[in-house]
């Protein structure tokens, strides 16, 4: 395998042009195939995705080296055709390569999230209200069975709409439907690792997906552009009303240098907050309910913890999190057993560096197999079993094992982590305080394998939601 002298990595066989792709043909999704291959080739092995030399890392100490110890060296991102369309050539955070501008941009986004996140009551109020309307909606379908996916999707989209540009929608508002519709189109067409991203020259052939992606992106940009203009006209510096205000203020404060972000960067950040915020949170909540249906005794224990520590009537707030360690453990176990991003986003070595003592040339792509880390039998007893107790110590307090990184780590760690944790806790606790979830009569249990698109999602299932009082 290619490597700059010294030890070399075990590597999959390769042929000209296709690289190792012929050896990667499989009915398994990438995270499972890579986990299988790591048993044969070891905790880090190389492959050629077409022309691109790629390392797959499946052991926690090596993952820590990539993300933390050498985090900066591995903080690059590959250039890909689809994500370039999505982000105007990398004017976002997630798919933009490492650069001084990107660092400024990420810091601004991080600060703006903090402004409305953990420290302030703003996000808490928004989530509480949207969780309440979600509960009212579920209450009104009294015991009927339904697919929760669209209802949850609407609720979390509303949270992000209010956080980003202070709009809130009724269930059938045409603007909300537009957002949901274009997002759906992007999700269907951007499936990570598609061929166009391995051989960029394939884009000269007509490509239906790429065309649809471009259409959806243009609908998205028109809508966000309108919001941006409205915000600019009514902005009071020093008093940001929402994330868009905070970003605009930050952008205007720029020093005028070439590392300043532009208005397009603000637009792409808003777009990404939607994409990342909606897909990940709704998916994690759907996995949570799917696992609770498979493990009714776990749901019962969550219910009794809520009844004993909070009661059935008092509205829950973030300060209840420390009182509900079992619920917290359930959410962690869900993110362990079904990480929404099982191979993270590809990283790239920005300079010649090394990994586990082997040298790694600049430009090498690195896939972190978080699925393998979360299912490594060396660190997890019976890793395929759903057991929230793993996240509790012997006195029942929340504990965090070292081999658990659902949000990644280091310079590319998820910027939305605290936002996501707040949302997950408030939605899950409110839903479980008020409802009991069960398998509808005659229906089968949800499939737990899921399907890998832009995130690892459960297949659609239907659930009966019964009010608890
Ligand atoms: C990146 C997980 C929610 C925004 C990531 C990464 C993971 C992740 C694994 C990639 C890290 C890497 O490539 O090394 C999650 C999970 C979530 C969640 C499990 C919820 C359950 C959110 C939310 C937002 C968000 C709510 C924003 C509103 C981002 C962004 C990045 C990112 C912008 C790119 C960071 C970068 O490349 O520097 N997330 N995420 N995420 N996430 Fe999240
Ligand atoms: C989801 C569809 C949106 O329309 C665009 C979008 C933006 C950011 C992406 C997100 C999609 C999928 C989940 C991603 C997120 C950035 C970080 C997050 C990849 C494609 C994760 C979990 O890594």
ipTM confidence score: 0.98
Q: Is 94 in the pocket of ligand 2 (CB under 6 A)?
A: yes
Which atom of ligand 1 approaches the CA of 341 most closely?
9
Residue 454: per-residue pLDDT = 87
Around ligand 1, the residues with Cβ closer than 6 Å are 93-94, 106, 272-273, 276-277, 280-281, 284, 335, 340-341, 344-345, 406-408, 412, 414-416, 419-420
Which atom of ligand 2 approaches the CA of 216 most closely?
4
**Residue 249 and residue 78: Cα distance in Å, rounded?**
30
DSSP one-letter code for 24: G
**Residue 192 and residue 368: Cα distance in Å, rounded?**
14
Give per-residue pLDDT as tens, 313-325. 898 999 999 999 9
**Residue 178 and residue 189: Cα distance in Å, rounded?**
17
For strand 365-368 and strand 52-57, is the pairing parallel, antiparallel, or unpaired?
A: parallel
Continuous segment of H or E residues that includes residue 199: none
Ligand number nearest CA of 454 is: 2
Beta-carbon neighbour count of residue 9 at 10 Å?
Answer: 22
Q: Which of 193, 192, 189 is nearest to 52 (CA)?
A: 193
Q: Which residue's alpha carbon is nearest to atom 6 within ligand 1? A: 414
Q: Is 80 in the pocket of ligand 2 (CB under 6 A)?
A: no
Q: Is 219 in the pocket of ligand 2 (CB under 6 A)?
A: no
Residue 6: per-residue pLDDT = 53
In this prediction, residue 81 has a pLDDT band, given cuts at 50, 70 and 90, of confident
Ligand number nearest CA of 279 is: 2
Residue 238: per-residue pLDDT = 85
In this prediction, residue 195 has a pLDDT band, given cuts at 50, 70 and 90, of low
In this prediction, residue 187 has a pLDDT band, given cuts at 50, 70 and 90, of confident
Residue 4: per-residue pLDDT = 47
pTM > 0.80: yes
Q: Which of 226, 268, 274, 230 is nearest to 247 (CA)?
A: 268
Q: Which residue's alpha carbon is nearest to atom 9 within ligand 1? A: 407
Residue 22: per-residue pLDDT = 84
DSSP per residue, 265-308: HHHHHHHHHHHHHHHHHHHHHHHHHHHHHH-HHHHHHHHHHHHH
Give per-residue pLDDT as tens, 448-457. 999 888 899 9
């Amino acid at each position: 395998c290619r490597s700059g002298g010294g030890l070399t990595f075990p590597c999959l066989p390769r042929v000209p042009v296709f690289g190792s792709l012929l050896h990667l043909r499989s009915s398994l999704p990438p995270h499972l195939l890579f986990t299988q291959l790591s048993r044969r080739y070891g905790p880090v092995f190389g492959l050629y995705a077409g022309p691109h030399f790629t390392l797959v890392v499946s052991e926690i100490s090596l993952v820590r080296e990539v993300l933390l110890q050498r985090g900066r060296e591995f903080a690059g991102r590959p250039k890909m055709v689809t994500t370039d369309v999505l982000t105007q050539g990398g004017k976002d955070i997630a798919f933009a390569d490492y650069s001084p501008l990107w660092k400024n941009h990420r810091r601004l986004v991080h600060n703006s999230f903090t402004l409305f996140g953990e420290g302030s009551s703003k996000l808490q109020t928004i989530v509480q209200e949207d969780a309440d309307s979600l509960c009212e909606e579920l209450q009104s379908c009294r015991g009927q069975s339904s697919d929760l996916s669209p209802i949850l999707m609407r609720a979390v989209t509303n949270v992000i709409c209010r956080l980003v540009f202070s709009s809130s929608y009724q269930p059938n508002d045409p603007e909300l439907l537009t957002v949901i519709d274009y997002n759906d189109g992007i999700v269907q067409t951007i499936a990570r690792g598609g061929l166009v991203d391995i051989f960029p020259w394939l884009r000269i052939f007509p490509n239906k997906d790429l065309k649809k992606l471009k259409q959806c992106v243009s609908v998205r940009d028109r809508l966000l552009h309108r919001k941006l203009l409205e915000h600019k006209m009514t902005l009071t510096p020093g008093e940001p009303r929402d994330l868009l205000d905070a970003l605009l203020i930050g952008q205007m404060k720029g020093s005028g240098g070439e590392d300043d972000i532009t208005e397009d960067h603000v637009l792409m950040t808003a777009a990404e907050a939607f994409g990342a915020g909606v897909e990940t949170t709704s998916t994690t909540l759907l996995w949570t309910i799917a696992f609770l249906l498979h493990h009714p005794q776990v749901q019962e224990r969550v219910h009794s913890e809520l009844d004993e520590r909070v009661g059935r009537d008092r509205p829950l707030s973030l300060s209840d999190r420390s009182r509900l360690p079992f619920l917290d453990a359930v959410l962690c176990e869900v993110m362990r057993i079904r990480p929404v991003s099982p191979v993270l986003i590809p990283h790239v070595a920005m300079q010649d560096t090394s990994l586990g003592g082997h040298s790694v040339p600049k430009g090498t792509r690195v896939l972190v197999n978080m699925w393998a880390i979360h299912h490594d039998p060396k660190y997890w007893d019976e890793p395929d079993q759903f057991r929230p107790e793993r996240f509790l110590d012997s006195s029942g307090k929340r504990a965090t094992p070292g081999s658990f990184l659902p949000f990644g780590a280091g310079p590319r760690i998820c910027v939305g982590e605290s936002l996501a944790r707040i949302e997950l806790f408030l939605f899950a606790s409110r839903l479980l305080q008020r409802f009991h979830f069960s398998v509808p009569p005659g229906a089968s249990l949800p499939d737990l394998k899921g399907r890998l698109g832009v995130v690892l999602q459960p297949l659609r299932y239907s659930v009966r939601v019964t009010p608890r009082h």
